A and B are shown apart, each in its own frame.
Chain A
Amino acid sequence: MSNHGHRVEELDRVTIRFAGDSGDGMQSAGQQFTNTSAVFGNDVSTMPDFPAEIRAPAGSIPGVSAFQVSFSSHDIHTPGDVPDVLVAMNPAALQAHLGDLPKGATLIVNSDEFTETNLKKADYDSNPLEDGSLAGYRLVKAPVSTMNARALKDSGLNTKQIDRSKNFFALGLMFWLYERPLEPTLRWIHDRFGKNPEVASANETTLRAGYNFGETAELFPVHYRVPPAHLPPGRYRNITGNEATALGFVAASVRSGRPLFYGSYPITPASDILHELARLKSFGVRTFQAEDEIAAVGAAIGAAFGGSLGLTGTSGPGLALKSEAIGLAVMTELPIVIAAIQRSGPSTGMPTKIEQTDLLQVMFGRNGECPVAVVAPATPVECFDMAIEAFRIALRHMVPTVFLSDGYLATGSQPWRLPEIEDLPRIEVKFATDPETFRPYERDPDTLARPWAIPGTPGLEHRIGGLEKADGTGNVSYSPENHWRMVRYRAEKVERIAEDIPELEVIGDEEGELLVLGWGSTYGAIITAVERARADGASVSCAHLRYLNPFPHNLGDVLSRFEKVLIPELNLGQLRMLIRSRYLVDAKGLNKVTGRPFLTSEIQAEIGAMLTSKVPVS
């Protein structure tokens, strides 16, 4: 019992979805809740879901912005299939998200916003708070707008500013309901609004008012505690995939001793990488906001020619524009990295929604036989390691390398155990310097990499370009034999990277009836589904590819040890196509292209359906 007579119940895991108008500050409320829970010691996983429009008409369904956070006393891999709690700040948010809320779950609404006008904007004919349609839920009607306005009536802010603070009232209420400390958010408020003390003070006031409202109002008979998780010891921070990506590239720069150059044109969901890197000038990071996607990659190629880490970043539509230039980097064998943060397509598609539909574009979307290396992080935190890995491969093998992430990883967050700097890979860079032995297209016998000879080195003056190169000298060549040799060199060079990457790891038994093979951001849903099925006694294992070109050399062997292979992907079967053609394995696909990630239950159901020894689907 807490000191106000509320019962405290201990829970293992809770998933909350904050939903409101784009202008209601749901992303920031969700982020604060996440950060607080992470600092408190829970494992957390998040999924923001926002419209591409900055401000769709207020109160409309297209204007709804949501943030889902799952926090737990054990380690978790997904932001949760369905929320336990939905916080709906207006009727449109309720209309848009109620469908995902299971019966019996808690529904907290800002009852003040359920006016006739707002109900109409959200396509409600009658008020759901009164017509009995929400009977199956634990409905909590909280007058958030009026309580917030009352708390801030002496704040000195105008009505509009006051109304803008109501997300912090709701946040305070949720902090009370789940016994969260206020300090991390108070610190954030004062860092963020330090220069604007009135706003800072108002946010603090309403945050506390929301918290106290929970304690004093008789809305909740019970409040909850989710104890800290037993995570491996170390220092942690919460981090999104895009932040981790940017830091990984900076780490690659520090560990290779070469300056980082980032050429990019703003595009959702990759722009945060540009924002992050643009503020890291003290690391010698040069960011170039280019006039278009082609200029961004062209400049990265120029930077790589000069001896810097040449990086460009984009999403699907931008990647399509960069194709020709990536081919130039393949031909000139310069070590650029292309960060491709996938989103829903084709064409402009749904910019803020999630898909894995650019794998084949990355593999084959160029003219000619034009192989590149491809790595793909599986979690937001892994974005850090795979960003370093992308440059390690690019530099060691002198090959353009794609870092293939997606919007789910980019904007999702999880706790990150900070690495020891000395444990990070050291990337060795060797420039050619000897005019006596230098030949621009001489190859390293192990890797087939050509030398990196940068302008400014006396005696090594040479010309490169997009025309076919003569083996060794790099002069222009139209010889059929030479072209055949060079095409195979470029392919073989990428194939040999397989000797330089870790083997594919199988989670679960090394052999059995079913292998679930995945790549990218589906990892969390896959591993959770497989763990649950295994707990039910199913003969199922999983393996997750972080290296998509080349594949780890034991992949064929792993596939051969299972009777069946299931490949869940947020596309129509792109990895499956590669696996089937390469290994002649009759892999089945579980495919979904809705702009939404997999639910664990969807994968679990498919596992159940594929196993002959039927296991119950829990």
Chain B
Amino acid sequence: MTTEAKEQPPRTGPPAGAPAEPPRLGRKDFVSDQEVRWCPGCGDYSVLAQTQKLMPELGIPRENIVFISGIGCSSRLPYYMNTYGFHGIHGRAPTIATGLKATRPDLHVWVVTGDGDALSIGGNHLLHVLRRNVDLVMVLFNNRIYGLTKGQYSPTSEVGKRTKSSPAGTIDYPLNPLSVALGAEATFAARSLDIDVHHLIETLDRAAKHKGTSFVEVYQNCNVYNDGAFMEFADKAVRPDRTVLLEQGKPLIFGKDRDQGIRLNGTTPEVVRLGENGVTEADLLVHDETRHDPAIAYILARMEFPEYPVPMGVFRAVSRPTYDELMEQQIRDAQTQHGEGDLGALLSEGDTWVVE
């Protein structure tokens, strides 16, 4: 009656037959045959290029990589990656990614999203994927505008911004993506810039190697609807003076001449000049991304131009068990404790009786 009892428990993976030794791949192996359809000059090209360049460096077989996105310009990225891809619906990429990763922890999953996709229509899912710490990389392209729908303000647009849907200026107070991520207990939170390609690929590399949800905000220029949104501080000429690089274990020093720094006065950051009023490197805030308490990361996340240089880099990188790992563990524990499920026994649980 219970012949199925010995049946193998369902495997989660694909059919056997994957090659043991994957061939060495290069960037072009990750370029799909689809024509890229972003506007010429869009910041998205840079993120795509750095992502494609990073992939072979990770040493993960191409078939084990999945890019999942929602809706918006950035969410077209999976079409251009020669990996598995899923272009989902608006705001819901984290849900698809969670279901995939929870059932297929063997896969390397990326979520590609934008400021509207992640923070407006998909805001709820962003919070929950972060608190669960599903092991995936989430890249949020923040251009502070709705591009695909042709130029309405977004949840990260600055107050007073005049757009097609806010001719008198927006009255919506913007969200700070990193503040949201840290508030949602992100174990990895970082920021980079589309045009700083070295920093971008380094940051993506760090994100890919972190275990848990790696949240990366990329300031990305929309040259059609919000051109130059970040140029005040991102322009190469002013960048050293108007941004500050977060480096693990190092004091926060910035400026072309590396003569300025950030000092913490209570919970308020202050810009100080080294050598002035007796300020030395020892007075500066030393960056520690591994601090369990996210308070300082939060203070850094809220430093905005022009009051402060804009911090770039990894704000937080801490370790916490991942959702997929814990789910796997519970299944293993149940099977160790009770054995693998026996369908016949399950069906006849509780009080049964026999009719002759």
Assembled-state Cα–Cα distance A302/B1 (Å)? 35
* Chain B positions within 8 Å of A187 at CB level: 351
* Chain A positions within 8 Å of B84 at CB level: 455, 461-463
Let me know if A295 is at the binding interface, CB within 8 A: yes
Chain B proximity mask over A577-597: 1 for CB below 8 Å, otherwise 0? 000000000000000000000
* Chain B positions within 8 Å of A306 at CB level: 12, 99-100, 103-104, 107
Does B103 lie within 8 Å of A421, measured CB to CB?
no
Assembled-state Cα–Cα distance A459/B97 (Å)? 21
Known: A456-B18, A456-B106. A301 touches B62 (CB 8 A): no
Does A298 lie within 8 Å of B353, measured CB to CB?
no
Assembled-state Cα–Cα distance A475/B340 (Å)? 41
- Chain B facing A: main interface SS: mixed
Does B100 lie within 8 Å of A291, measured CB to CB?
no
Known: A298-B99, A307-B12, A421-B4. A291 touches B87 (CB 8 A): no
Q: How far is the CB of B298 from chain A (nearest CB, A)?
A: 23
Let me know if A464 is at the binding interface, CB within 8 A: yes
* Chain B positions within 8 Å of A455 at CB level: 14, 63-66, 84, 100, 104, 107
B34 to chain A: closest residue by CB: A475
Known: A462-B84, A464-B86. A261 touches B78 (CB 8 A): no
Within 8 A of B (CB), among A277-304: 280-284, 286, 288, 290-292, 294-304
Does A466 lie within 8 Å of B88, measured CB to CB?
yes
* Chain A positions within 8 Å of B354 at CB level: 233-236
Let me know if A541 is at the binding interface, CB within 8 A: no
Interface 9-residue window, one of B123-131, B167-175, B240-248, B275-283: B123-131
Let me know if A405 is at the binding interface, CB within 8 A: no
Q: How far is the CB of B199 from chain A (nearest CB, A)?
A: 28
Let me know if A418 is at the binding interface, CB within 8 A: yes
Chain A proximity mask over B321-356: 1 for CB below 8 Å, otherwise 0? 000000100110111011111011011111111111
| B interface residues, tally (CB under 8 Å) | 79
Within 8 A of B (CB), among A224-253: 228, 231-238, 247, 250-251, 253
Residue among B63, B83, B340 with max Cβ neighbours from chain A (10 Å): B63
Does B7 lie within 8 Å of A254, measured CB to CB?
yes
Does A291 lie within 8 Å of B125, measured CB to CB?
yes
Assembled-state Cα–Cα distance A325/B12 (Å)? 23
Let me know if B10 is at the binding interface, CB within 8 A: yes
Let me know if A467 is at the binding interface, CB within 8 A: yes
Known: A292-B124, A303-B100, A458-B19. A236 touches B107 (CB 8 A): no
Does A295 lie within 8 Å of B98, measured CB to CB?
yes
Besides the known contacts A236-B355, A433-B17, 12 further A-B residue pairs in the complex with CB atoms under 8 A apart: A237-B347, A257-B11, A281-B334, A284-B340, A291-B128, A295-B92, A298-B88, A307-B104, A324-B89, A422-B4, A457-B14, A463-B32
| Top-8 shortest CB links A-B | A465-B87, A298-B95, A302-B99, A299-B99, A283-B341, A463-B85, A281-B334, A302-B100
* Interface set of A (CB-CB < 8 Å, partner B): 35, 38-39, 41, 184, 187-188, 228, 231-238, 247, 250-251, 253-261, 263, 280-284, 286, 288, 290-292, 294-308, 310, 324-325, 327-328, 332, 417-422, 431, 433, 454-467, 475-476
- A-B contacts, 11 of them at CB < 8 A, read A184-B351, A233-B356, A237-B347, A237-B349, A261-B99, A298-B99, A298-B125, A302-B100, A421-B2, A456-B14, A476-B34
